[in-house]
Structure 1
Amino acid sequence: MSSRNTVPTGIVGLDKMITGFPRGGLITVSGNPGTGKTALAGAFIHNGIVKFNEPGVYASFLEDEERFFDFMSGFGLDFRSLRDKGLFKYLAIPTLFEPGMSISIADMLETVESIGAKRLVIDSFTALSQMLKSPSEARVFLHSLLSKIARQMDCTTILIKEVQSEQAYEYGFEEFISDGVILLRREMIEDRLLREVRILKMRGSQIKEPSACISLYKGFNIYPPLRITKNYYRGKGYEPPQDPNGAYTTGIPDLDREIGGYVDGSTILIDIDPQN
């Protein structure tokens, strides 16, 4: 559920972690290649259109429209039909032009206005900053983006940023002026790839969970930590939970709801981290 001050992402797990993005705000999404930045941003735009009737624009300095469409179709997101309905526009911005900054801002502003977009993604600020002449130009771009598009047009904007190291994350100017900062990570643990999302900052939104696991299988999915509620004695004493249909209860109602209990006749392996 959205409010006047926040915008739901439409990503179920993410909306459980926070109460939404600040409406008309700037959100920096950082991470190494392959951590799911484009998938998250695409889901934010797609959900805005199909779930909340908010047209969206995806501005990219990295790839053309057809490659974007093909990539997103792998997550079950059909952007071609949304484009044909006039609810979505893809803006491919060349990285070699002069004077550069003013042209890209003008193109974004015109594209956002043309469809009344309420959601915008810029992919990526890293590519943009490399084509600008100095860090001061990048700051001017961000201030123009905030004032002319995000704030003035009430268009909630995601700014994608590539980072070099997942271990030592450093704040840049873009993080300081952003309303929200999300870091996506990945790590190999015993030959298994673990993806993680961390909410480092989110103005005007309650951060219910600061981190959670990610899956990119058939979409961008977030799985916040399972909170096991305690059963207290209330007069009549403790009442054990009922067995789910075709299964045995785990003894934990919340866990039963998540996995459906232990299937009759199955063998259950409980793997415990010896360090915890």
Structure 2
Amino acid sequence: MSSLVPTGVDGLDSILSGGITAQSTVLVSGNPGTGKSIFGIQYLYTGVSEYDERGVYVSFEEDEDDIRAAAESVGFESFGEHVDDGDIVILDKRQMLREADFSTAVDRLLETIEDGDFDRLVLDSLSMFQLFFENEQEKRTYLLKFSDILKANGLTSLLINEQGAVFPETEVGLENFLTDGNIYFIQTPTESGVNRYVWVAKMRKQEIDTDIFPMEIGQGGIIIHERAAGFSMMGRTDSPSF
């Protein structure tokens, strides 16, 4: 049986029967504000603080200061110390978008992961990463190559994807079929704010629970309420499908 990498998110690892399959590439999709970036930060923070696993955070959208501030906002006070110590390496938009050239950006990333002994990687976001490609065929080719490179370097990776549709089955991109797993973060409006949910739609080589589960973001990061499965969301009582 394949070894599993715990995400550190209460409830989610139970849904995943222990965590994410080691050296896999998982797509994390959702609308802006659903908690995808916090999930990526929590994943790397857990790796360093609980499992002595070093990580890389690649951001095409945020500066390092913004990422540090996001981590501190949910109680990961020592996140910055791990960055200062080199256990978490941040490649932010100032570095990755310094030149509008795909090869240069990827070379910078590859130099980092090949020179260091890293276990986890977060790419935020795939939507910006894909702007380097001119057509679907080129995008497919490079995504496959990129995923293979990450696995070859022993990385278990989260690729964050911005999604316009509220419900995931209404917007299925090519990247959904090129990754080993798909996790969706969903939010629906209410009179008092929003309700947030998580749906693990696919994970190769492992058993998962495909119900939709409520989640919260607070001090300590994300919590999934796994015992609340089977609820109705916007009138839905069944598990969604493509």
Q: Give the Cα–Cα distance (whole angstroms) in 2 for the partners of residues 178 and 87 of structure 1.
A: 26
How high is the TM-score relative to the length of structure 2?
0.86
Alpha-carbon deviation of 1:84? 1.9
Aligned residues: 225
Alpha-carbon deviation of 1:131? 3.4
Q: Give the Cα–Cα distance (whole angstroms) in 2 for the partners of residues 86 and 144 of structure 1.
A: 27
Q: Which segment is superposed worse, 21-30 or 79-88?
A: 79-88
**Matched residue SS, 1:62:** coil
Residue 146 of structure 1 corresponds to: 147
Higher relative CO (Cα under 8 Å, sequence separation at least 6) belongs to: 2
Alpha-carbon deviation of 1:132? 2.7
Whether contact under 8 Å (1:87, 1:115) holds in the other structure is no
Q: Which amino acid aligns with 1:79?
A: F
Q: Give the Cα–Cα distance (whole angstroms) in 1 for the partners of residues 22 and 143 of structure 2.
A: 17
Q: Give runs of ≥4 in structure 1 deviating > 4 Å.
A: none
Q: Give the Cα–Cα distance (whole angstroms) in 2 for the partners of residues 96 and 110 of structure 1.
A: 16
Higher helix share: 2
Q: Give the Cα–Cα distance (whole angstroms) in 1 for the partners of residues 117 and 228 of structure 2.
A: 39
Residue 271 of structure 1 corresponds to: none
Whether contact under 8 Å (1:88, 1:115) holds in the other structure is no
Q: Give the Cα–Cα distance (whole angstroms) in 1 for the partners of residues 144 and 228 of structure 2.
A: 39
**Matched residue SS, 1:188:** strand
Q: Which amino acid aligns with 2:4?
A: T
Alpha-carbon deviation of 1:190? 4.5
**Matched residue SS, 1:107:** helix
Alpha-carbon deviation of 1:97? 2.8
Residue 91 of structure 1 corresponds to: 91
Residue 8 of structure 1 corresponds to: 6
Q: Give the Cα–Cα distance (whole angstroms) in 2 for the partners of residues 97 and 195 of structure 1.
A: 36
Residue 171 of structure 1 corresponds to: 172
> Percent identity of the aligned residues?
29
Q: Give the Cα–Cα distance (whole angstroms) in 2 for the partners of residues 129 and 193 of structure 1.
A: 29
**Matched residue SS, 1:181:** strand
Which structure 2 residues correspond to residues 61-140 of structure 1 after superposition, within 5 A? 61-77=60-76, 78-92=78-92, 93-95=95-97, 97-98=99-100, 100-140=101-141
Alpha-carbon deviation of 1:195? 0.2
Residue 43 of structure 2 corresponds to: 44
Is the counterpart of residue 60 in structure 1 residue 59 in structure 2? yes
**Matched residue SS, 2:44:** helix
How high is the TM-score relative to the length of structure 1?
0.76
Alpha-carbon deviation of 1:209? 5.1
Q: Which has the larger radius of gyration?
A: 1
Q: Give the Cα–Cα distance (whole angstroms) in 1 for the partners of residues 131 and 106 of structure 2.
A: 16
State the Cα RMSD in Å: 2.1
Alpha-carbon deviation of 1:182? 0.5
* Superimposed CA distance per residue, residues 26-83 of structure 1 (whole angstroms, 9 cap, x where no aligned partner): 1000000010000111111110111111100000100110111011110112321001
Residue 217 of structure 1 corresponds to: 218
Structure 2's unaligned 5+ residue stretches are 230-235, 238-242
Alpha-carbon deviation of 1:223? 1.1
